[in-house]
Amino acid sequence: MHTAMVFAPHADDASAFCGGTLAKWSSQGWKIVLVRVTDDARDSVGLTIEETKKRNREDLEKSCEILGIKEIIHLDFATDTLADVPLTKLRERSVYLIRKYRPYAIFSFDPYAHFEPNMDHVRVARAVEEALWVSCFDLHHPEHFKEGLEPFSVCERWYFARYLEKITYAEDITEFFDKKVSALSAHETMMRNILNQFRLQLKTWGYRVPIIDEAFSGDYRGLLEQVLYLQCSQIAEECGMSEGTLAEGFRIDRFGDMEAFFQQFAEPIKDVSQGPKRLFFDKYWPDK
Instruction: Give the footprint of Zn ion on residues 221-250 (CB under 5 A).
Output: none
Give the residue with the Cβ less far from Zn ion, 28 or 197. 197
Residue 193 C-beta: closest distance to Zn ion, Å: 12
User: What is the β-pairing status of strands 3-8 and 105-109?
Assistant: parallel
Give the residue with the Cβ less far from Zn ion, 163 or 205. 163
Give the residue with the Cβ less far from Zn ion, 26 or 108. 108
Is residue 187 close enough to count as binding Zn ion by CB under 5 A? Answer: no
Residue 11 C-beta: closest distance to Zn ion, Å: 8
H helix runs in the chain, sequence order: 13-27, 49-67, 87-101, 119-134, 177-185, 188-205, 210-217, 221-238, 259-265
Residue 187 C-beta: closest distance to Zn ion, Å: 11
Q: Which amino acid is at 48?
A: T
In this structure, the number of other CB atoms found within 10 A of the CB of residue 259 comes to: 17
Give the residue with the Cβ less far from Zn ion, 75 or 241. 75
Q: In angstroms, rounded to a whole number, what is the distance separating the alpha carbons of residues 161 and 187?
A: 19
Residue 17 C-beta: closest distance to Zn ion, Å: 9
The residue count for binding Zn ion (CB under 5 A) is 3
**Which class for 100: exposed (0-12), middle (13-18), buried (19 or more C-beta within 10 A)?**
middle
Q: Give residue number: closest CB to Zn ion.
A: 10
Residue 146 C-beta: closest distance to Zn ion, Å: 34
Stretch that binds Zn ion, among 8-16, 45-53, 74-82, 125-133 (CB under 5 A): 8-16
Instruction: Give the footprint of Zn ion on residues 9-48 (CB under 5 A).
Output: 9-10, 13
Q: In angstroms, rounded to a whole number, what is the distance separating the alpha carbons of residues 132 and 192?
A: 35
User: What is the β-pairing status of strands 71-77 and 31-38?
Assistant: parallel
Q: In angstroms, rounded to a whole number, what is the distance separating the alpha carbons of residues 115 and 140?
A: 32
Residues that bind Zn ion (CB under 5 A): 9-10, 13
